[in-house]
Chains A and B, each alone.
Chain A
Amino acid sequence: MSVISDVIAKVKQKDSDQPEFIQAVSEVMETLEPTEKKHPEFVKAKIYERIVEPDRMIIFKVPWVDDKGEVQVNRGFRVQFNNAIGPYKGGLRLHPSVNLSICD
């Protein structure tokens, strides 16, 4: 079993409730197979295991007042995944379908 297939299996087990995250990890990891043989230093430093784990996830309350003056409350998600090459970046999405898996 390659390190990469092992990592995919572990994510499926650990984050079984996050289908989009599993899909994203699997799709990327499968194309990274050629790097595993060429870079034993990545395997040794456990880069494949570490790169699929976000630095941190922030879940927060968003209270606001709508056009009718009614108070509303929503849940916000921010996943800061990896800042090894620069600041955390990403878009802002306001939608009922947003969840942790999609932000991940």
Chain B
Amino acid sequence: MIKEQGLKVDIALPCATQNEIGKEHAIALVKNGCFCIAEGANMPSDIDAIKVFQEHNVLYGPAKATNAGGVATSGLEMSQNSLRLSWTREEVDNRLLVIMKNIHQSCLSAAESYGCKGDYLAGANIAGFLKVAKAMIAYGVV
């Protein structure tokens, strides 16, 4: 974990496990020039670390959005199985790109419509919640 002073960082991709980055680590990252965090694990930054990123206008990509590629690709695998088809690497990659772009757009628009423009964390949580909540309403009490 980066605690050393002066080790220059542009982009941090915490990809191991939960609560890797706490407040002190976040401060060290910001001090060392980090302008972008994209999470690749479940809950790698704790809430104090996220506050540090937001206060310093670091571009913060929350795991729910940035780490969705794995689950999305697993979904694409299920689609191929059901279709009895095998897509090329490029076909899968193109579909994944569309999915990730849509996720980004959903985060942006949800944040804007619910009064927290530019807040990717709130946007990702709200967009994800709305999708599930609306489906749950449609199903009824099950």
Contact = CB atoms under 8 A, between A and B. Distances in A.
Interface of A: 20, 23-24, 26-28, 31-32, 34-35, 38-39, 41-42, 45, 47, 50-51, 82, 84-87, 89-91, 97, 102
A23 B63 CA distance: 14
B136 interface: yes
A87 B82 CA distance: 13
Given A20-B43, A45-B137, A51-B132, A86 B75 contact: yes
A85 B130 CA distance: 11
A89 B43 contact: no
B24 interface: no
B74 A42 contact: no
B97 interface: no
A56 to B, nearest CB: 13
Given A32-B126, A85-B132, A90-B71, A41 B47 contact: no
30 contacts: A20-B18, A20-B19, A23-B19, A23-B43, A23-B46, A23-B47, A24-B43, A27-B50, A28-B129, A31-B119, A31-B122, A31-B126, A32-B125, A34-B122, A35-B129, A38-B114, A45-B136, A45-B141, A47-B133, A51-B129, A84-B132, A84-B135, A84-B136, A85-B131, A86-B75, A87-B78, A89-B74, A89-B75, A90-B71, A97-B17
A32 B18 contact: no
Given A20-B43, A86-B75, A90-B71, A47 B136 contact: yes
Interface of B: 17-19, 43, 46-47, 50, 70-71, 74-75, 78, 114-116, 119, 121-122, 125-126, 129-133, 135-137, 139, 141
A68 B18 CA distance: 32
B84 to A, nearest CB: 18
Nearest to B115: A34
Contact of B125 (A31, A39, A47, A82): A31
A90 B78 CA distance: 13
B59 to A, nearest CB: 17
B128 to A, nearest CB: 8
A82 B136 CA distance: 9
